[in-house]
Amino acid sequence: MKIEIQEEKNNPLLNRRELKVKIIHDGPTPTRKDVISKLKAVTTARKETVIVKSFHSKFGARESSGIVRIYDSKKRAMEIEPRFMLEKNLIGEKEGTEGKEGKEEKQVGGGKPAKEHPKESAKPEKKEEKPKKEVVKEKKKVDKKQEKTVEKERKVEKKDVEKKKVEKKKGKEEEKVVEKKK
C-alpha cells in the first residue's frame, strides 16, 4: 500500500492539518486502521490524532482517495470531531473491546452518555389473555366463514361438472348427426 498526499492545508483555528490523499493498494481496499497506521508512518502524527473522514475506492481501479484530518492533540480531536467519527477511527476506546459489549462500555468524546432506550429498560409486558368464552366465539366465527367458502367452492365445482356433461352430450349429438349425413 502506497499513500500519496495530493493536497495539504493547515487549519490553525481548529489546530489541525487537512489532507487529501490518494492510496494505491494491491488486493482489497484497506481498512481505516491500515490507512491510519500507514499515515502515521508517512507523517509525524500520532495514531490517536489521525481521523480518516472519508475514504472512497474507485470501481475497477486499485486506488482510493480520502480526506484525513490530523490534530495537534487527542484532546482537541475529541472536542471537535463528532462522536461517531471518533468511534469509526477507534479513538478513545480501549483496544481489544469489540462488538456490542465494547460499544456499550465505552464513551467517546465530550458528549453525555447515551440514554437507554425506553423500550429496552422497561420490562416486557405480558399480553392480556382473552377469556376462553371469547376465544371460542372467535373460533366459531372463523369456522362459519370457512364453511361458507367451502360451500361456495362446492357449488362452483358442481356447475363446472354440469357444464362438462352438457358439452359431452352436445358433442355426442353432433357426432350422431355427422354419422347420419354420411
Do residue 89 and residue 24 come from a single domain?
Answer: yes
Total of domains in the chain: 2
State residue 108's pLDDT score: 45
Domain boundaries, position 144: 130-182
Q: Look at residue 39 and tell me if it is in a domain.
A: yes
State residue 99's pLDDT score: 43
CB atoms within 10 A of CB 89: 24
Q: Look at residue 61 and tell me if it is in a domain.
A: yes
Q: Say which residue, 170 or 134, is predicted with more confidence.
A: 170
What's the average model confidence in pLDDT over 42-54?
Answer: 87
> For the chain, what is the mean pLDDT?
77
State residue 109's pLDDT score: 46
Amino acid identity at 149: T
Do residue 8 and residue 77 come from a single domain?
Answer: yes
pTM of the model: 0.49
CATH value at residue 75: 3.30.70.330
User: Which residues, 6+ apart, have CB-to-CB distance to 111 below 8 Å?
Assistant: 83
